[in-house]
Structure 1
């Protein structure tokens, strides 16, 4: 007797909403022949910094006509460096349309609804009651704990939380926290804090030697650490738009 055929699936696929942590590549210069070589230079100083990473092209800083940006050449140049541009953020409607013709869909951040407002009838309401005074205590941010080393090729993201690594972050690994990042060991991979644009986030490491460190989209690679005490216990924070490296202890 032949085996019974497996039952057919009722539905071949499902769609659901999800939030992802994506890097935004803010274009400060519209010239592809300037941007792509600059990215290549960063790759030479920090191999694998963005390799195979999906990125969003930020358009808010461009004050040029849409026809002055060759989006098709930009996409091709980024892919040559193994960067995967998936869409755009910000910019004028004309600029977004020009990018979309090169396959870059306009994206919006989670929680930003672009639907038109709905008109509702005005109804008389009773006088509002004064709300109770708000507590001055800020709710504690949740924390994600990782109790083993982070190997090359691994990516760990603490969504909406601080991240504590009790071990080494090896070269080629990436650790991301929407809040602050604590590494109780050697930090040798890529460290990203303030993933939700939290400029108050910080990075702490007992042995500071990362390939890349970033807070709220501002980043530095090894050549940009200045006088940071490499190999020591270090705290990284933003002062304005400048990254500061302070020795701990």
Structure 2
């Protein structure tokens, strides 16, 4: 019997991907405290709460028995869609699965070690971390990134020699450089690099994100629109600086 499958008869195929996902890092397991804070966030940025998928991170909680179903209900009441849980003990994992959610192991944190350089005081570094100059795997894309298209550099910087149309998405482990108009979504530091940035010649972005911290178009100072800018992360907040 032939194991070949007629492509015309296939209903689906599995493909790897790097979809941007908002992580909601819980520091309290009290659903009412979460409800109160979400209500405040909703009043500040209603556009964000439009059926946004989120991963609930419980890594900072020390509670084996988590009211996960109630927390998910609070999120859904505020138009957030929990799709998975990250971290937690085995009961948390089982609860996630019972609720139809995915589960991710805790985020790996590289150990920090102290090194002495000559007679100087010890300096802290991340073990096995390559210096920025050694990071490879960047990508250059020449031409317009069209609506519905995604261009990514999963191991370095992404340089787009052209424009990024509305509805398009560019992602990079490092920084994103757009030598044209940026009208779509740009996500830098997708693996958590806080030193990454976004640079573009003409800012009209639908969404800007560095290491998971983001701004939507309505959150951007209108005076910066249409200008050449640099986007960086400072104290866990995105800062946008005009280059012209």
TM interval, short-chain normalised: 0.5 to 0.7
Q: Please tell me whether residue 101 in structure 1 is matched to residue 81 in structure 2.
A: no
Residue 58 of structure 1, CA deviation: 1.9
Contact in 1 for aligned 2:72/2:82 (Cα 8 Å): no
Of Structure 1 and Structure 2, which has the larger fraction of its residues in strand?
A: 2
Cα deviation for residue 95 of structure 1 reads: 2.8
> What is the DSSP-based 3-state SS (H/G/I as helix, E as strand, rest coil) of the residue aligned with 2:92?
helix
Instruction: Please list, as runs of the form range in 1=range in 2, the aligned pairs for 1:209-220 lying within 5 A after superposition.
Output: 209-220=204-215
Which residue of 226, 229, 237 corresponds with 1:242? 237
For structure 1, the residue ranges without an aligned partner over 5 or more in a row are: 1-6, 113-134
Unaligned ranges ≥5, structure 2: 7-13, 110-129
> Which residue, 215, 218, 223 being the options, matches 1:223?
218
Query: Does the aligned pair in 2 maintain the 1:36–1:74 contact within 8 Å?
Result: no
Q: Which has the higher contact order (CA 8 A, sep 6+)?
A: 1
What is the aligned partner in structure 1 of residue 24 from structure 2? Answer: 26
**2:194 maps to which of 188, 195, 199:** 199
Q: Secondary structure at the match of 1:70?
A: helix
TM-score computed with the length of structure 2 as normaliser: 0.68
Taking the aligned partners of 2:55 and 2:49, their CA distance within structure 1 comes to 20
Distance of 1:47 and 1:147 partners within structure 2: 34
Q: Aligned to 2:218, what secondary structure does the other structure show?
A: helix
Please report how far the alpha carbon of residue 226 of structure 1 lies from its aligned counterpart in structure 2 after TM superposition. Answer: 4.2
Picking from 112, 118, 142, the partner of 1:147 is 142
TM-score normalised by structure 1 residue count = 0.67
Deviation at 1:232, TM superposition (A): 0.5
Aligned length in residues: 215
Shift of 1:176: 0.7
3-state SS, counterpart of residue 237 of structure 1:
strand
CA RMSD for the aligned pairs? 4.1
